[in-house]
Structure 1
Amino acid sequence: MSTQMLIYENAFPVSSRRHAQWSIEPSGDYAFSAKVNSVPLMAVEFPPAASEYAIVFAGNDKGIMPVVILGMRGNQNVYLNSAGNWDGKYIPAFIRRYPFIFSSDEQGKTLTLCIDEAYKGCNQADRGQRLFDEAGKATPYVDNVLKFLQNYQAQFQRTQAFCQKLKELDLFESMQASVTLPSGEKLALTGFMAVDRKKLKALSGDKLSELAQTDELELIYLHLESIRNFAGMRDRLTVIAGGKEDDAAPAPVRQQAAA
């Protein structure tokens, strides 16, 4: 699992002093995410994401979060086409918020809007959306960015609470996935977790009822069903390698509990 902040190369706080003449020109080019094989996913995104991505969990004792798998190699996103366009119906919010991001102080109480100045859509030629008007006031475009990130932050906290509940119920198990390509190359992905079906079934009726009433049981089943999408990962890798999807059919994707 890769370091997600790698998509931000040169993030600076947005300010009228530094960015008074800056504009952002959306390009539809997602090449900035070419070298990440997973990104965080908020719980609210499970329904639209589960049909085409494998949703798993990653983290440690300090915190666990859901992620969507974008590749089997550590530096390859197979959901990009050769032109840098996103090859999927749903684009995770983590990707859509780029080039903006919130940074926080050590206590996590103060959030500051930042922008990756390395984003190729940044310009001072008035192309696209201005960040500040002539009076130095943030434009409606920036206001909308702030609303999007504030909602993202709120969903992040809700997702953290969801994952903490699953951890307290001791539902996680370490997993790994393996893919065999038509060329014979074998790829393995480790370092993630999934909900253990046996542990889920063993929960008391009260615990299951509680999960159902908060819609968290539905999220769990969306996650479990999404694991099937590792098979589509193999097909994407085959196409990228110059083969045909049909060539990959005999070699199944395997998910198993890590030793």
Structure 2
Amino acid sequence: MSTQLLIYETAVPVSSERHRKHAIEPDKGYGFARRIHTVPLTAVEFPLAAAEYAIVFAQNGEEVVPAVVLGARAGENLYVKDDASWNARYIPAFVRRYPFVFSTRDDGQAFMLCVDEACQGLNDEGRGQRLFDDEGKQTAYVDNVVRFLQEYRTQFIRTRAFCKKLAELKLLQPVQAEFTLAGGRKMSLNGFHAIDRKQLKALPAETLSQLAGTDELELIYLHLQSMRNFASVKDRLMLAQPEAGAADTAPAAEERERTAAVVH
């Protein structure tokens, strides 16, 4: 792969020549996601994700894409526990598809299944789910992975259309989340967009009706409701690093820390 995506270190095409004896051992946890503080989200995930995460819109090149906020600072995921388990009921599909991912050729038409060879659970000792059988035929496990990734891409394309409509309606505006920790220390998380409520209310009735008819209005309100979960991000930060909320008279403690919530 020419570009590695957030959690992928050495993703290479899956092939019977290279991976005939390889298997994926389950239950190795989510340590691979420990250093990411946002991940992309598809629109179909909004109903489940909105209950536990703050959903924002992050700049990705010339586009904006939905993303869930996992931490208050770059390189910090407050939803991965010390034992590498995920500390939430819903796990974003972007994370669940690991260690597999589709890569595209230059024409953007052909898709190739890749696996991250840095995955802790990948082994050539037969532990877990085999990628190929002894004859070199792709297993049912890999067939299911491919179907999952195909559905993920379908939902990604639909989500892109949804975000394009939000941009055309001029509903997105840059915002930042500010946290005031115990002792008065302040942090702000910026670099993302959110729906402007005033712009939403100013839309013509016909446009609102169209958004309601396509269920996109529901997605908008799920996003707005989810913004309350920034309080959960703060609470998780306090639990993970109690000293972050302690009074500190050192000059560095008076500085405002800023991190970008951007999907790379």
TM-score strictly above 0.5: yes
Q: Is the 8 A contact 1:4 1:39 kept in 2?
A: no
1:53-98 per-residue CA deviation (whole Å, 9 max, x = no partner) reads 0000011562111000000101100001111110001000000000
1:36 aligns with 2:36: yes
Q: What is the aligned length?
A: 244
Tell me what 1:87 maps to: 87
Tell me what 1:163 maps to: 163
The 1-side partners of 2:238 and 2:62 are apart by 37
Tell me what 2:20 maps to: 20
1:31 to 1:102, Cα distance in 2 relative to 1, 3 A: same
1:146 aligns with 2:146: yes
Tell me what 1:10 maps to: 10
**Higher mean C-alpha deviation, range 54-63 or range 87-96:** 54-63
Deviation at 1:107, TM superposition (A): 2.1
The 1-side partners of 2:109 and 2:220 are apart by 30
**Higher mean C-alpha deviation, range 185-194 or range 203-212:** 185-194
Counterparts in 2 of 1:72-221, with a 5 A limit? 72-221=72-221
1:120-153 per-residue CA deviation (whole Å, 9 max, x = no partner) reads 1000111000000111110000000000000000
SS of 1:7's equivalent? Answer: coil
SS of 1:95's equivalent? Answer: helix
The 2-side partners of 1:150 and 1:43 are apart by 15
AA partner of residue 44 (structure 2): V
**Higher mean C-alpha deviation, range 176-185 or range 109-118:** 176-185
For the aligned residues, what is the CA RMSD? 1.8
AA partner of residue 32 (structure 1): F
SS of 2:182's equivalent? Answer: coil
AA partner of residue 144 (structure 2): N
Q: Is the 8 A contact 2:28 2:121 kept in 1?
A: no
The 2-side partners of 1:244 and 1:57 are apart by 27
Q: Is the 8 A contact 1:73 1:187 kept in 2?
A: no
Q: Is the 8 A contact 1:4 1:36 kept in 2?
A: no
1:157 to 1:59, Cα distance in 2 relative to 1, 3 A: same
Counterparts in 2 of 1:36-55, with a 5 A limit? 36-55=36-55
AA partner of residue 179 (structure 1): F
TM-score by length of 2: 0.89
Q: Is the 8 A contact 1:12 1:117 kept in 2?
A: yes
1:150-207 per-residue CA deviation (whole Å, 9 max, x = no partner) reads 0000000000000000001010000001112225432211110000000000000110
Deviation at 1:229, TM superposition (A): 0.2
Deviation at 1:26, TM superposition (A): 1.1
Deviation at 1:222, TM superposition (A): 0.2
What fraction of aligned residue pairs are identical, expressed as a percent?
56
SS of 2:242's equivalent? Answer: coil
Q: Is the 8 A contact 1:102 1:114 kept in 2?
A: yes
Tell me what 2:252 maps to: none
SS of 2:113's equivalent? Answer: strand
1:124 to 1:157, Cα distance in 2 relative to 1, 3 A: same
The 1-side partners of 2:74 and 2:26 are apart by 27
Q: Is the 8 A contact 1:13 1:112 kept in 2?
A: yes
Q: Is the 8 A contact 1:58 1:65 kept in 2?
A: yes
1:133 to 1:61, Cα distance in 2 relative to 1, 3 A: closer
SS of 1:6's equivalent? Answer: coil
1:111 to 1:124, Cα distance in 2 relative to 1, 3 A: same
The 1-side partners of 2:73 and 2:4 are apart by 14
TM-score by length of 1: 0.91
The 1-side partners of 2:99 and 2:223 are apart by 28
Unmatched segments (≥5 aa) in structure 1? 246-259
SS of 1:161's equivalent? Answer: helix
